[in-house]
């Protein structure tokens, strides 16, 4: 693997771009090569990480609403759903969505519209394996009775038996994946360091 040019400025820029998620695969390979076994490069990488930590602790600088069309995300939402945003735009959009109910609602509507379009005839069916969340083959129970009172009883029984209507579908793997995705949104929370003695297990 090619070694990185030992130009501190160029290396720093490359590290910075890596931390910002802006590198191509070939450039990532350069970063990997630079870090592997090169203590000076490791130190430089760490120093840059420390700077980023410090920056993270600074008060957030909100993008002025004046820079957004009508103070909202507008067309950026479609690009967001289509995965077409740059890293910077992605952060800006997610930051705005946290605070803006109107844009979140619009994002919901756009997402629903996309799903509706995909469900039109001709759209590819999902390949995900689904498992019915309620007992399959639940059958209508037949009740033979005469008279108005019996008919009412039949109605209640059918309702209680869950007949009619679409049954909910749950896929446990899907739920676990959703949890993993949400959990990965936060790198972690602060825990205060102390000098307590460790109680070994």
Partner 1 sequence: MRRLYNVAGLVLLISASAIGPAHAEDLGDYLADADDAIYSGRRFVGTTWDGIVSSEIVEVQHHGGMSMVGSGPTSATVGEGRWHRDDTDEEGFSYVGQSVPAPTDRYTLVPGGPAEHLGRPSHVLDVLERGVLRMRLVVDDSTSAPVLTEVYTADGSVFRSTSMIEFSVSVDAGMAGERDRAYRMLVPLNETDFPAVAAGYRLIDAYEAPEGSSQAFYSDGLFTFSLFATSGNVDWMDVAGDIHTYAAGGRAYFRAVRPATVWILWNAPGRALALVGDLPPDHLEAVLAELPPPGAENWMQRLWHRIFG
Q: Considering only the stretches 5-13, 17-25, 63-71, 142-150, report the one whose residues sit in contact with partner 1 under the rule CB under 8 A.
A: 17-25
Q: In the complex, what is the shortest distance from the CB of residue 120 to partner 1, in angstroms, rounded to a whole number?
A: 16
- What's 132's DSSP letter? E
Q: In the complex, what is the shortest distance from the CB of residue 100 to partner 1, in angstroms, rounded to a whole number?
A: 10
The smaller minimum CB distance to partner 1, of residues 98 and 144, is found at 98
What is the Cα 134 distance to its own chain's centre? 28
Of these, 2, 24, 59, 75, which contacts partner 1 (CB under 8 A)?
A: 24
Binding of partner 1 by 160 (CB under 8 A) = yes
Interaction with partner 1 in 118-147: which residues (CB under 8 A)? 126-128, 131-136
- What's 170's DSSP letter? E
- What's 142's DSSP letter? P
The structure tokens 């909202």 sit at 72
CA distance 20 to 144: 70
Interaction with partner 1 in 42-71: which residues (CB under 8 A)? 42, 46, 49-50, 52-53, 56
Question: Do 142 and 110 form a contact (C-beta atoms < 8 A)?
Answer: no
Q: In the complex, what is the shortest distance from the CB of residue 70 to partner 1, in angstroms, rounded to a whole number?
A: 19
The smaller minimum CB distance to partner 1, of residues 121 and 187, is found at 187
CA distance 111 to 97: 14
Backbone angles phi, psi at 54, to 5 degrees: -65, -45
Q: In the complex, what is the shortest distance from the CB of residue 53 to partner 1, in angstroms, rounded to a whole number?
A: 5
The smaller minimum CB distance to partner 1, of residues 70 and 82, is found at 82
Q: Measured between alpha carbons, how far is residue 97 from residues 74, 76, 93 in Å?
A: 12, 11, 6
CA distance 123 to 121: 6
The smaller minimum CB distance to partner 1, of residues 3 and 52, is found at 52
Of these, 2, 9, 26, 67, which contacts partner 1 (CB under 8 A)?
A: 26
Q: In the complex, what is the shortest distance from the CB of residue 182 to partner 1, in angstroms, rounded to a whole number?
A: 5
């Amino acid at each position: 693997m090619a070694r990185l040019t030992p130009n501190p400025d160029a290396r720093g820029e490359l590290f910075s771009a890596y931390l910002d998620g802006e590198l191509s695969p070939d450039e990532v390979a350069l970063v990997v090569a630079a870090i592997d076994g090169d203590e000076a490069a490791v130190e430089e990488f760490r120093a840059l990480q420390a700077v980023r930590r410090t920056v993270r602790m600074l008060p957030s600088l909100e993008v002025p609403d004046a820079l957004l069309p009508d103070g909202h995300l507008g067309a950026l939402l479609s690009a967001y759903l289509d995965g077409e945003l740059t890293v910077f735009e992605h952060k800006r959009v997610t930051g705005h969505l946290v605070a803006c109910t109107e844009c979140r609602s619009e994002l919901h509507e756009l997402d629903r519209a996309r799903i509706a379009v995909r469900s039109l005839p001709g759209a590819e069916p999902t390949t995900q394996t689904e498992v019915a969340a309620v007992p399959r083959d639940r059958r209508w129970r037949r009740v033979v009775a005469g008279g108005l009172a019996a008919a009412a009883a039949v109605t209640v029984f059918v309702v209680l038996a869950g007949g009619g209507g679409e049954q909910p579908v749950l896929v446990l793997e899907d739920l676990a994946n959703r949890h993993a995705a949400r959990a990965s949104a936060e790198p972690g929370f602060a825990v205060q360091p102390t000098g307590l003695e460790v109680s070994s297990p």
